[in-house]
Structure 1
Amino acid sequence: MTVVSVESSTTSTALVLPFEVGSARKARRRLAADLRGAGVHPDDVHDALLVLSELVGNSLRHARPLPSGTLRVTWTRLAHQVEVSVTDGGGPTEPRPLELPASALGGRGLAIVDDLSARWGVRRGERATTVYAVLDLTPSR
């Protein structure tokens, strides 16, 4: 299921996808097409895709699916920002960046999100958790 809404200078897209690894690729392709089609700077597209990949990956590794067996990926593009979010059924721990030794092989996902975004956070509902990140976009010339 895909929902797209457009209001003046704001564009929002929501995808409801199976709770499986292949959904990350589908979401990245759609986000890339939307951002490139809107003329977003290629570096900003790359950063948004990386953040989306980390959020979906964390959802699949650390959370449960929504009751329907899915996850929801959304993005909202404003004039100078894009907010990317992933909603799932929540997990046993609070999403947070980890302090890791340089030799660690994993666990850097939210640190990457933190570095690339202007801000990020967690919204908890009764049966769902949403992790979101807001990225600043390079102003067009």
Structure 2
Amino acid sequence: MNLKAQLLELIKAEELDLLSSHKTLSLPVIERIYKKMRLNLRFGSIQVDKDIILNGHHRYLASRLANFPVDQVPGIKTAAKELIEWQNVELVEDDWDTEAKIRYLNKEDARYNDMSLEELLAKLDTIN
């Protein structure tokens, strides 16, 4: 089952305990994070206000697919943040990250996890 189908099943099963404040999310971004979580890499916390995600939607969905715990810290909800039901969130194939941003994030993830970029990339190559 592909990533989008897995996410739609997760949403349909109503297994998400946090709510969304984004209308659209990028499947390629979720997939990259998911692969790193399958390698047990550490990630920064997501920001929530009560049960609404303010920052970290992609990490949250990837963590649910990977059965990987991600820390939550309180955030401040602004008037611009509105509750979006998960079934109304559009999962798009557009990659929101440029090649330069992906390289930057890989470098940061490697540093955050005490490994070289080369080690991280080699490990990522082993994940389907």
Establish whether TM, by shorter chain, passes 0.5: no
TM-score of the superposed pair, with normalisation by structure 1: 0.27
| Structure 1 or 2: more strand by fraction | 1
TM-score (norm 2): 0.29
